[in-house]
Amino acid sequence: MSEIKVRFAPSPTGFMHIGNTRTALFNWLLAKKLGGKFMLRIDDTDRLRSKKEYEDAMRESLVWLGFNWSEEARQSARFDRYNEVTKKLMDEGRIYACYETPEELEIKRKRAMAKGLAPVYDRQALHYTAEDLAKFKAEGRKPHYRFKLLDGVIEWYDIVRGHCRYEAEKLSDPIIIREDGSYLYHLPSCIDDSDFGITHIVRGEDHTTNTASQIQMFEAIGGKVPTFAHLPLLTGTEGKLSKRLGSLGVRELKADGVEAMAICSFLAKLGTSDAIEPYYSLDELAESLDFSKLGRSQPKFDEEELKHFNTKAVRSMPYSLVKDRIAADETFWNDVRANLNVVDDVKVWEDICHKEVAPIIEDKALTDLAAELLPAEPWNENTFNEWLSALKAQSGKKGRELFHPLRKALTALDDGPELKTLLPLIGYEKAKKRLLGQKA
């Protein structure tokens, strides 16, 4: 059995977004689960739109997400190889020149649809006369090139969609080279996948028709046809394909405090029969990968739902995963994490416990009494309850009437960890001064 090898092949024409992050994730998880390799291929054949800043940002996002790769390639460095294969296919009659303008092709498309026919290219270019070619040359037309599909049934077993079947006669011969001589996605991708030994291709279901054409391309170049998995596309909460999904960037989510593993856990389980639960290791997430649990319907992605899920993940996150990112020790982390929305929120509580706070006094009589009754350190596990019992007894107050003024004096905030947890972190000196209305 050949070694399992997958690839993530982004075009550096924009920042990494939720859609291609999901594609990269499923490829990485599959390689990990099957003990294979994950390759990065930069599809930069679009010279006008490809930018180094986008590529650098994509690499940064992949590293942050934990998607390490063992090999990489760049399409712009492989044009000689593409030209070599293209010439061979031209000589064999599988690639042919076409001279129709976009306007002429649109007219053909509309005529076919008006007759109730599929808008399949009519292969008029295969019947050009010498006079036609002379006319095109005189007009200064430059050709684009198509790959000629062979008649017959194209079928494959898709890991997600099951048995897929297309009749080649009902598909247009795909354009593979533009008028300006630049390559479109189809053929270079097949050449790369064949040359680099890619065994599995995981991508969005919008590529399913491309796959039918590309299977014939693999066969034409003598390559082994990979195993395919076409993922249902994400939609927005309204159930439609959303521009937001194509613009919501990994960098933006990271800046908002969303954890890499929260993104991965959420995307891996969205649209599956599994519950969406936090995973804290990509290896563990890979072990849970099961394409048979993916539904066929398009899952709805909700940015706010992801952020709520991130909060859930943070509040149960082990200290070992954050110790290199925060100054707090394990005890402090475990005491306050249930009140965090993002990891950086821990700094708020570090400041409250260790730096100067201007208290807010709502009930001076109560907080003065609290300061008077607060016992000096050392404290034990009974100190807080004994102090609170004495305060209740002498003030006659309880519930919110008791706790809210204490919290505002000690933290200047309305909510947070239990006061029983916070008080030892603040310490006697600061706590007493704050209860008396002094900055401390």
351: number of Cβ within 10 Å: 11
Q: What span, in angstroms and rounded, lies between the C-alpha atoms of 337 and 371?
A: 27
Cis peptide bond upstream of 378, omega within 30: yes
pTM value?
0.92
Per-residue pLDDT of the chain (440 residues; tens, 9 = 90+): 579 999 999 999 999 999 999 999 999 999 999 999 999 999 998 888 899 999 999 999 999 999 999 999 999 999 999 999 999 999 999 999 999 999 999 999 999 899 988 899 999 999 999 999 999 999 999 999 999 999 999 999 999 999 999 999 999 999 999 999 999 999 999 999 999 999 999 999 999 999 999 999 999 999 999 999 999 999 987 776 655 666 788 999 999 999 999 999 999 999 999 999 999 999 999 999 999 999 999 999 999 999 999 999 999 999 999 999 999 999 999 999 999 999 999 999 999 999 999 999 999 999 999 999 999 999 999 999 999 999 999 999 999 999 999 999 999 999 999 999 999 999 999 999 999 999 99
**What residue ranges define each of the domains in the chain, with the CATH number in brackets?**
5-75+183-231 (3.40.50.620), 81-177 (3.90.800.10), 243-321 (1.10.1160.10), 356-435 (1.10.10.350)
pLDDT tens-digit readout, 298-331 = 999 999 999 999 999 999 999 999 999 999 999 9
pLDDT tens-digit readout, 386-402 = 999 999 999 999 999 99
Q: Are 29 and 284 in contact (CB under 8 A)?
A: no
